[in-house]
């Protein structure tokens, strides 16, 4: 059986992405109550969701480093980044309800669109490159 090798797992971007998600996921276990406060009210079992999302962030971060898991980790981290977006909105709503400073509220507003570059970084590091080895050596000429 031919083993696919993706050299991208050892890139600096993959390592940085892994550290980012492992640290972020670990924080869910260090300060779960802080994260539970930003779980939207319509989401059941806030503390369980905090632990689950933290575990998924850690698993995804570690998966980015292992070539055979990198694609699945990338898909999972993109899905997770979309799934936690309502928590980012809830954090802003909580700040507005608490009459947080305009600077704090502005920073929270600015955080919302930052999910897009994060998703792009995940995609670029784990998925965009995964298709390249399959294309190497292919003759794409139509005149054959």
In a domain, 101, yes or no: no
Name the helix (H) or strand (E) containing 65. Answer: helix 46-65
Residue 106 lies in a domain: no
Tokens of 101: 């400073």
Q: Does 61 reside within a domain?
A: yes
pTM (predicted TM-score): 0.81
For the chain, the domain total comes to 1
Would you state the pLDDT for residue 101? 97
Question: Which residue range(s) make up the domain with 57?
Answer: 7-82+117-129
Question: 10-residue block means of pLDDT along the chain (144 residues)?
Answer: 49 94 98 97 97 98 94 97 97 97 97 96 86 45 45
Q: How far apart are CA 32 and CA 48, in angstroms?
A: 9
Cα 6 versus chain centre, distance: 20
Which pLDDT score is estimated for 11? 84
- Whether 46 is covered by a domain: the verdict is yes
134 lies in some domain: no
* Residue 19 pLDDT: 97
At 138 the pLDDT is 40
């Amino acid at each position: 059986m031919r083993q696919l090798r993706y050299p991208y797992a050892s890139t600096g971007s993959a390592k940085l992405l892994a550290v980012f998600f492992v640290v972020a996921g670990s924080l869910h276990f260090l300060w779960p109550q802080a994260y539970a406060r930003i779980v939207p009210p319509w989401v059941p079992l806030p503390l369980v969701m905090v632990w689950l999302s933290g575990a998924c962030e850690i698993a995804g971060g570690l998966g980015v480093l292992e070539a055979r898991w990198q694609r699945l980790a990338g898909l999972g981290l993109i899905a997770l980044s979309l799934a936690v977006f309502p928590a980012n909105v809830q954090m802003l709503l909580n700040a507005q309800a608490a009459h947080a400073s305009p600077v704090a509220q502005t920073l929270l507003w600015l955080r919302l669109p930052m999910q897009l570059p994060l998703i792009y970084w995940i995609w670029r590091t784990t998925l965009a490159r995964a298709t390249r080895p399959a294309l190497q050596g292919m003759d794409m000429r139509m005149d054959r």
